[in-house]
Structure 1
Amino acid sequence: MNHLPQVWGRPRDDIYGAYDHSYLQTSGPKTHTQSPTVTGTSVVAVKFNGGVAIAADNLASYGSLARFTDVKRLRVFDNSTVIGFGGDVSDMQYIDRLLESIDIRENYSSNGNTLNAKNLHTYLSKVLYKRRSEFNPLWNHILVAGFDGDGKPFLSSADLLGTTFSAPHLATGFGAHLAIPILRRLFPEDMPIENITKEQAVAALKDCMKVLFYRDARSLDRYSIAVVTKEGIELKENEKLEAQSWAFAEGIKGYGAQVN
């Protein structure tokens, strides 16, 4: 082996000949799955009495550029489950195709059984773990909202390592730092979800989306919100935060010419 710093670890040219770089050339398309370029930020969700509410903004950022402002990052599965995606948009589209193929296969199945949210979360966590084990991870952090096999509200997350976590309220991205404290204040951990109404959960998510818009540089004032109940899924994909303005900044000490 060559021990010169600039070529450390390669076979020595004087013994094995010059390294042939032609083996690295390919006629296939360039892929960048190891360095996500277009990404979405926070997904926020909370359980309530009789279901789960989940929200995500419609922005896909190209680095620090707010490039795509109409990317819907909530996906409905079989009118019973909603999957919220944070992270790489191309990997989100890949997982979306997987979900479509599963949905078609389930609808053509003759056994009459359908996947619930808990089943779907288990499947997706295994997919994420498999790709991580192949050193080709899907750069996503997902939330799965719906019902388990016993008909109870279900909410759980899975990340690019295949790590799973369940809680009465969850968030991905910056929402884990900004939205979770709000939800913990409104709905303490010792508060049973039977005491949380649908209206309270939706109002809390709207407050979280407002805070994220002001505090997260990769967020947007347009968002999607879904409410999962046993009656079905109520999905709104073009909601807008009302009366949003940066005029309040003029009253902050130290802003602009104001120094006192």
Structure 2
Amino acid sequence: MPGFSFDNFQRNNFLAQSGYPAPKATSTGTTIVGCRFDGGVVIAADTRATGGDIVADKNCEKLHRISPTIWCAGAGTAADCEMVTQLMSSTLELHALSTGRKPRVVTLLTLLKQHLFKYQGHIGAYLIVAGVDPTGPRLFSIHAHGSTDVGYYLTLGSGSMAAMAVLESKWQEKLTKQEAMELCAEAIEAGIWNDLGSGSNVDMCVMEVDKPAVLHRNYRTPNVRVEKEQSYKFAKGTTAVLAEKVKPIVNVVPFDIFEETTIIKDDDKMEVDG
């Protein structure tokens, strides 16, 4: 059957009745931001993927293409963000072909909130939706339960408090494209430096009116690994040997070594495997 399977709910109840603690959800971390400027909109994200206290990927991509002029930044469960945005991309394309009009950002927002609300937060996708359409630049955010916000600048994820501090203090009306890009990059770096779930590089996507979206992969790389100050390879004999004992191996069943050669004939070709 399509859809989600909740068989693990019965498993967790059985574990609880047997005296075992139920498995806990793995916490995730991300910093994503979006900012409108005069003539377009910018979204940005860090590139660290985590599973609890483990860094699973140092350079993952959290910006998802929906259409040539509409993109999403995703926080939460990586697989949920990936699959939901792919589903919305195909659905929005079919809608545009059916109506004969260019896709609009608010249409994507409606499709997303209806889909996420249906699953009551079990799809862990927290998205910043941005793009340009015939109505102009648009910027929205949507939570896993289906609630949405609209604004000139938005941020989500575990590093959103640090990012919002930068946005609140430095955002101003009628920003230029370059100013908006630098503001978003600085907000993401605030999340990278102040949130353990965020890290590595800064990805960015710029969408302008009457222009295709431009993805800037690794727009900033503040965590480039540098050479170590000294070598940690120690010469043989550095560690003292306090005692040495050699024990012979006895009662070992003897064995022989055989070499097998197979000749395969295929028309005029001959291969020999040894």
TM-score normalised over the length of structure 1? 0.71
Counterpart contact for 2:31–2:159, Cα < 8 Å:
yes
Q: 1:95 aligns with which of 71, 84, 93?
A: 84
> Is the counterpart of residue 139 in structure 1 residue 124 in structure 2?
yes
CA distance change for structure 1 residues 185 and 48 in 2, over 3 Å: closer, same or farther? same
Larger fraction in helix:
1
Q: Does 1:202 align with 2:167?
A: no
- Decide which of 119, 137, 154 is 2:138's aligned counterpart: 154
Select which of 202, 205, 215 maps to 1:235. 215
Cα deviation, residue 59, structure 1 = 1.4
- The answer to whether 1:56 aligns with 2:45 is yes
Is the aligned partner of 1:119 residue 2:107?
A: yes
Inter-partner Cα distance in structure 2 for 1:243 and 1:235: 20
Give the secondary structure class of the aligned counterpart of 1:232: coil
Q: Which deviates further from its counterpart, 61-70 or 94-103?
A: 94-103
How far has the Cα of 1:218 moved from its partner? 1.1
Stretches of structure 1 that go unaligned for 5 or more consecutive residues are 1-23, 26-33, 246-260
Measure, in 2, the Cα distance between the counterparts of 1:79 and 1:35: 39
Cα distance in 1 for partners of 2:24, 2:138 equals 32
Query: Given the alignment of the two structures, is residue 128 of structure 1 paired with residue 113 of structure 2, yes or no?
Result: no
Asked if 1:212 corresponds to 2:191, the answer is yes
Aligned to 2:252: none
Query: In structure 1, how many angstroms separate the alpha carbons of the residues matched to 2:89 and 2:42?
Result: 22
Percent identity over the alignment? 25
4+ residue runs over 6 A deviation: none
Task: Name the CA shift for 1:118/1:61 in 2 (closer, same or farther; >3 Å).
Answer: same
Larger Cα Rg: Structure 1 or Structure 2? 2
What is the alpha-carbon distance in structure 1 between the residues aligned to residue 159 and residue 133 of structure 2? 25
Q: Is the 8 A contact 1:80 1:117 kept in 2?
A: no
How many residue pairs get aligned? The number is: 205
Residues 33-88 of structure 1, C-alpha deviations (whole Å, 9 max, x = no match):
x9654745111111110111110111110111111123211111221111110000
